[in-house]
Amino acid sequence: MNTTRTNAEAGASGAPLSGNLSVGPDSVAAPQFIQGMGLFSATALVMGSMVGSGIFIVSADMSRSLGSPALLIAAWLVTAAMTIIGALSYGELAAMMPKAGGQYVYLRESLGPLWGFLYGWTLFLVIQTGTIAAVGVGFGKFLGVFFPSINTSNWILHIGTGKIGLNTANLAAIVVITLLTILNTLGVKMGAAIQNLFTSAKVLALAAVVMVGVLVSDPAAVAANFGAGWHNFWAGSGWDVLHAAEAGSKTGDFVGLLTILAIVQVGSLFSADAWNNVTFTAGEIRNPKRNLPLSLAIGTGVVLLLYVACNFVYLSVLPLAGDPSATTIAGRGIQFATEDRVATAVMERAFSGLGAKLMAAAILISTFGCANGMLLSGARVYYAMSRDGLFFKSVGKLSEKSKTPVNSLWVQWAWTCLLCLSGSYGQLLDYVIFAVLIFYILTIVGLFVLRRTKPDAVRPYKAFGYPVLPALYIVMATWICVVLLRYKPQYTWPGLIIVLLGVPVYLVWRRNGQSADVAAT
C-alpha cells in the first residue's frame, strides 16, 4: 500500500504540511509559474486592485451619516491606518511563504486547512467573483455615458420582473470580463502589462481630480466646510455629539463618535479593499521576499494618500451639507450628489458640460484595470486550493504554453458571468463585507501563531511595529465587526451564513480527496 500522504490528507489531520513552510500548491513538478512580475508590476497590481469606483462614490453616503467634514476625513484616515498596518503585517507572511494562493496559504499554514478553505470558498463564491461582476457592470453603466443604449434597463433577455437576464450593461460587462480572461490566459506578462498600463492611467486620473480641486476650489464651499477659523470643519465632531446609526434616521438608535466611525467603514474600508490580491500571485513575482512586502507598502500608501486628498478636494469644491431636492450641484452638496457620484459633481463644477464625460472616462479606465487585477489574482487561489485537493482537480493545472492556470481562469469567468446575469452580485457583496474583515483578523492572528509555532522559519521581512501594530489592527477590526453586528445586521449574519456553508463543502472535498487517494493505492 502507498503510504505517502497527500496535501489534502495532511490538511485533514490538522498537521502542518511542512516544517519549513516550503511545501505548497506550486511545489509540484513542471509546468511551473513564470516569475514575470517585478516590483513595478506587483505594486501596480496592489494599486489597480484597490482603485475601482468606490472612491468616486462612497463619500456621499458616509457624509450623510457623519454630518461633519472632520469626521469624513477621520473615517478615511482610520481606513488608511488599518489598511497600511494590514499590508505591513501581511508583508511578513508574504515574504515567508511566497506561494501562489497568498492569504489562503497563510491561513492554511497558521490556523489549519479548514480556515484556508473557508477563505477560498467565500472568495470564489462571492468576494472575488462578485466584485469582478459589480466592477464589470459598473463599466457598462459608465460606458452608457458615451453610448446611451448601454444601460441596465435595455433588456435583451429579461426573466421575470427582477434583475435576472441579459441587458446591455451586463452584456458589456461579460464582453470585458471575457476579453480580459482571454488576455490573462496568454501569460502573466500580458496580464501584468495590461495592469501596468491601466493602473498608471487611473492613478493619473485620481491625481487629476486632486489637481482640479486645487485649481478650482469654490470659495463658498471652502467657507462652508473650513470657515470661521476652521470651526465649521470641526463642527459636529465632538465626543458629546450623537449621530443617527442609519442616515436620515429620526426614531432609530443614536450613537457616539467611535461607533459612527466604525459604521461608515463599510464604505471606506471596502473602497480600499483587494490590496491583498498581490499575495495570490506570489509564485509569479521576481524576488518575492523583497518585492511583495515593498509592493504592499508602496501600493497601499500611494492609493490611500490619494484617497484622503480626494476627500479634501470634495470638501474644497462642494459643501458637505446639501438638500436632496435642490436642482444645482452646489445645492445638493456632497451628501446628496446625484446618484452619490461626488467626483462627477466636482468635475462638472470645474468643466461644466464636459465634467460628466471626463469623470466617466476616468472610471472606465479605473474599472477596466480593477477587473483585470482581480481576474489575474483570484485564479491563483483556486489553483492553490485544487493542488491541496480542495477544489476541482482540473483547476490545479498550468498551461504548458503560457504557464498560467487557464482552467482556473475559465471557471472563475463562468461563475462571474453567472453573477452578472443574476443581478444579485451587489447584494451578495453587502453580505460578505463582515466576512472579509473576519478573514483579515484571522490572518493577522495567524502572524502571531506562526511567530510562536515556527520561530525558526526564515523571515526576510518582519512586520513593522510587531506586536503593537498588528494587535492594534485586530482590536480596531474587531470593534468594527462588533458594531456592524449590532447596527448593520443585514451586512453581517448573511455573510456568516455564506462562510459557514463552506464547512460541509470542505468535509465533502476532504472525503473525496481521501477516497481518491485510497483508490489510487
pLDDT in tens, 395-410: 999 998 889 999 999 9
Which has the higher per-residue pLDDT, 162 or 394? 394
Residue 174 lies in a domain: yes
Q: Is the pLDDT of residue 107 over 60?
A: yes
Beta strands 155-158 and 165-167, pairing class: antiparallel
Domain membership of residue 3 (yes or no) is: no
- According to the model, what pLDDT value does residue 494 have? 86
Least-confidence region, from 13-27, 76-90, 379-393:
13-27
pLDDT for res 443: 97
Residue 27, in any domain of the structure: no
**Ordered DSSP codes for 476-512:** HHHHHHHHHHHH-HHHHHHHHHHHHTHHHHHHHHHHH
Q: In percent, how much of the chain has pLDDT > 70?
A: 91
- Number of domain units in the chain: 1
Does the structure show a pLDDT above 60 at 439? yes
Q: Which residues, 6+ apart, have CB-to-CB distance to 18 below 8 Å?
A: 24
**What is the residue range of 389's domain?**
54-520
Residue 356 lies in a domain: yes
Identify which of 435, 445, 495 has the alpha carbon closest to the alpha carbon of residue 473: 445
In a domain, 44, yes or no: no
Q: Is residue 352 part of a domain?
A: yes
Residue 42 lies in a domain: no
Q: Answer whether residue 21 is part of any domain.
A: no
Assign residue 287 a region (left: φ > 0; alpha: ψ between -120 and 50; beta: otherwise). left
pLDDT > 80? residue 12 = no
Query: Model confidence at 464, in pLDDT bands (50, 70, 90)?
Result: very high
pLDDT at 17 over 70: no
Q: What is the pLDDT of residue 247?
A: 56
Q: What are phi and psi of 67, to 5 degrees?
A: 65, 20
Instruction: Please state, in angstroms and rounded to a whole number, the distance separating the CA atoms of residues 85 and 91.
Output: 10
- Residue 512 pLDDT exceeds 70: yes
Q: For the chain, report the end-to-end CA distance as a whole number of angstroms.
A: 6
Distance CA 431, CA 435 (A): 8
User: Which contacts qualify for 214-223: CB closer than 8 Å, 24 or more apart?
Assistant: 214/313, 214/316, 215/350, 216/317, 216/349, 216/350, 217/316, 217/317, 218/316, 218/317, 218/318, 218/330, 218/349, 220/319, 220/330, 221/315, 221/316, 221/317, 221/318, 221/319, 221/330, 222/316
Sign of CA dihedral 506, 275, 447, 428: negative
| Average predicted confidence (pLDDT) for the chain | 86
**Cross-strand bridge partners of residue 37:** 285
Q: For 127-138, what is the mean pLDDT?
A: 89
What CATH code is carried by the domain that includes residue 283?
A: 1.20.1740.10
C-alpha distances in Å from residue 387, one per residue of 303, 305, 384, 391: 34, 38, 5, 8
pLDDT band at 1 (very low <50, low <70, confident <90, very high): very low
Residue 178, number of CB atoms within 10 A of its CB: 15
Q: How far apart are CA 263 and CA 295, in angstroms?
A: 29
Confidence of residue 75 (pLDDT cuts 50, 70, 90): very high
- What's the CA gap between 151 and 124, in Å, rounded? 27
pLDDT one-digit tens code per residue, 144-153: 889 999 988 8
Average pLDDT for residues 310-337, to the nearest whole number? 92
